[in-house]
């Protein structure tokens, strides 16, 4: 025999008062959530409407990328003016490999340069 199963969510506030009132909304704030009925959700909706009426949109500085929560921006190893482009450092590393007759510095065509390669380039060129 075919069956249908329905799930009914109850208001968390009403449940704490031993009442079974169907939830109409979920409120999520700061990693927490609560199921609420119309009666308990109304004050929150009212505050959100008032907030939206006075709040200004969040804008970002031109050219600035958004900061992802939980991640920090890393500080550059050296000022941009001190180090040449990655292509220049790669060419230097390949020349050093050729001079030595073996692979001292492993470099790819693109992508992030390994710290050991950057440190060796800085040491060879007197960059601190």
> Which residues contact residue 96 at a Cβ distance below 8 angstroms, ignoring those fewer than 6 apart?
104, 105, 120, 124
pLDDT in tens, the chain (128 residues): 888 888 888 999 998 889 999 998 888 888 889 999 999 989 988 888 888 888 887 776 666 666 666 656 555 555 555 788 889 999 999 999 888 888 888 888 888 888 888 889 988 888 87
The verdict on pTM exceeding 0.75 is no
pLDDT given at position 72: 60
Give the Cα separation of 60 and 74 in Å (integer). 19
Instruction: Report residue 113 as tokens.
Output: 């340069």
Cα separation, 106 vs 94, whole angstroms? 8
Q: At 54, is the secondary structure helix, strand, or coil?
A: helix
pLDDT for 71 equals 58
């Amino acid at each position: 025999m075919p069956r249908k199963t329905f799930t009914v969510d109850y208001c968390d506030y009403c449940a704490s008062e031993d009442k079974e009132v169907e939830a109409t909304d979920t409120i999520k704030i700061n990693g927490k959530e609560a199921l609420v009925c119309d009666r308990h959700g109304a004050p929150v909706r009212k505050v959100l409407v008032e907030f939206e009426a006075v709040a200004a949109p969040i804008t970002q500085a031109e050219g600035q990328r958004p900061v992802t929560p939980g991640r920090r921006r890393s500080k550059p190893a050296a000022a941009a003016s001190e180090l040449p482009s990655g292509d220049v450092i790669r060419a230097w590393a390949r020349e050093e490999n050729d001079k030595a007759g073996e692979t001292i510095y492993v470099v790819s065509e693109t992508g992030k340069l390994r710290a050991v390669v950057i440190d060796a380039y800085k040491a060879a060129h007197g960059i601190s």
